[in-house]
Amino acid sequence: MPGLNLSTALVIFAKAPIPGQVKTRLCPPLTPDEAATLHGSFVLDILERTKVAVSKLKLPIDRYLACAPSATHVFFKIMEERQGVKLIDQVGDDLGARMNQAFRTLFSQGYRQVILLGTDVPTLPLDHFKQALTSLENHDLVLGPAFDGGYYLIGLKRTAPELFADIPWSTDQVLRLTREKAAGIGLKASVIQPWRDVDTLADLEALIEANTAEAKQPKNDRVFSSRTAGVLQRLAKRLRTRA
């Protein structure tokens, strides 16, 4: 069990890349196998980016991977070994219940603040992690808004189950209702810069376009991993033929 001197737990919420269970809103035009490959690459991206961010920030941050359907899945065991993350199960009937349980689990282990992060933001700038940590110094809650009305990041200094109850997940009302609930229970909230997550075909097309533009840049200036860049290039070709 981590000691009470530890400051922050950074929890990445992830599903195992099982065809038919991830990125289903992209199928069609993607096949279930293609969607799973894309998702798996995104999970690796965010693991790699958070590892770099934690190293650069030089702060007491422990990284966790909240796993679905189970931390026993071989994909997560490989991530634990190769990426140096600790595994916990996602527990609950819906996304809100699972996030609330993750907060409860990590706060019970002595962390002063906990940040949850999704995997659908493969190009999220490293500075956003610093923004979130800085915001929590003077706020009870920090949110990273997604362009679709949801959020890609949420951080708290204590459990707040009210934030996760009666929310219509996967709608454009998530961020607004969460902020209203926070105000209603007296949480001082902060919002960092928004970022696009990847849920719909329009999101994927925007990501493909950004990847195509970035391919013309010097390697040192690129934000896409070579792995995800390759996946997006293959998907772009296949989508053109299917169109």
Tell me the CATH number at 17.
3.90.550.10
Is residue 39 helix, strand or coil? helix
Q: Confirm whether 232 is domain-assigned.
A: no
Domain count of the chain?
A: 1
Q: Answer whether residue 228 is part of any domain.
A: no
Return the closest-CA partner of residue 52 out of 218, 227, 223: 223
Q: Under a CB-based contact definition with an 8 Å cutoff, are residues 138 and 131 in contact?
A: no
The answer to whether residue 208 sits within a structural domain is no
Q: At what angle do helices 74-83 and 32-57 cross, to 10 degrees?
A: 30
pLDDT at 3: 38
pLDDT of residue 2: 40
Among residues 98, 111, 23, 100, which one has the least CA distance to residue 67? 98
Could you list the residue range(s) of the whole structural domain that residue 86 is in? Answer: 8-199
Does 236 fall in a domain?
Answer: no
C-alpha distance from residue 215 to each of 206, 220, 223, 233 (Å): 14, 11, 10, 10
DSSP state of 108: T
Residues 6+ apart with CB under 8 A from 60: 5, 6, 7, 8
Query: Is the residue at 81 inside a domain?
Result: yes
Residues 57-107 have pLDDT tens digits of 887 899 999 999 999 999 999 999 999 999 999 999 999 999 999 999 999
So what's the pLDDT on residue 58? Answer: 82
Residue 214 inside a domain? The answer is no
Spatial separation of the C-alpha atoms in residues 233 and 50, rounded to whole Å? 24
Assigned domain for 35 exists = yes
Give me the residues of the chain with pLDDT under 50, please.
1-5
CB 190 within 8 A of CB 132: no
The Cα-based distances of 29 to 42, 108, 226 in angstroms read: 19, 43, 23
In this predicted structure, what is the pLDDT of residue 6? 62
Partners of 88 in the β-ladder? 66
pLDDT at 26 (0 to 100): 96
Is the residue at 77 inside a domain? Answer: yes
Beta strands per DSSP E along 90-188? 113-117, 141-145, 151-156
